[in-house]
Amino acid sequence: MLDFPVLAPSLLSADFANLAQDIKKIEDSGASFVHIDVMDGIFVPQISFGQPVVSSIRKCTKLPFDVHLMIEHPENQIDTFIASGADYITFHYEASVHHHRIIQKIKESGIKAGISIVPSTSVETIKEILPYVDLVLVMTVNPGYGGQKLIPECLKKINQLKKIRQENDFGYIISVDGGVNNKTLSSVIESGAEVIVSGSSFFSGDLDWNGKICINGSDK
Catalytic residue of the set 40, 66, 134, 177:
177
Asked, as a colleague might, if the bond just before 119 is cis with ω within 30 of 0, I would say no
Tell me what percent of the residues of the chain surpass a pLDDT of 90.
88
3 catalytically annotated: no
Long-range contacts of 44-48 (CB under 8 A, 24+ apart): 44/70, 44/143, 44/144, 45/144, 45/145, 46/144, 46/145, 48/12
Residue ranges per structural domain of the chain:
6-219
User: How large is the average pLDDT for residues 108-115?
Assistant: 97
- Nearest one of 161, 139, 160 to 150, comparing CA atoms: 139
User: How large is the average pLDDT for residues 195-203?
Assistant: 94
Beta pairing, strands 135-139 & 214-215: unpaired
Inform me whether the pLDDT recorded for 83 exceeds 70: yes
Radius of gyration of the chain (CA): 16
Average pLDDT, the chain: 92
In this structure, what DSSP letter does residue 127 have? Answer: G
Three-class SS state of 124: helix
Give the model's confidence band at 211: pLDDT under 50 very low, under 70 low, under 90 confident, else very high.
very low
Inform me whether the pLDDT recorded for 216 exceeds 50: no
pLDDT, residue 210, reads 65
Q: What is the DSSP string of 168-190?
A: HT---EEEEESS-STTTHHHHHH
Beta pairing, strands 195-198 & 173-177: parallel
Fold of 6-219: TIM Barrel (3.20.20)
* pLDDT, tens digit, 9 for 90 and up, residues 119-175: 999 999 999 999 999 999 999 999 877 778 999 999 999 999 999 999 999 999 999
pTM (predicted TM-score):
0.93
177 catalytically annotated: yes
Does residue 81 or residue 208 have the better pLDDT? 81
Residue type, position 107, single letter = K
Catalytic residue of the set 3, 15, 37, 134:
37
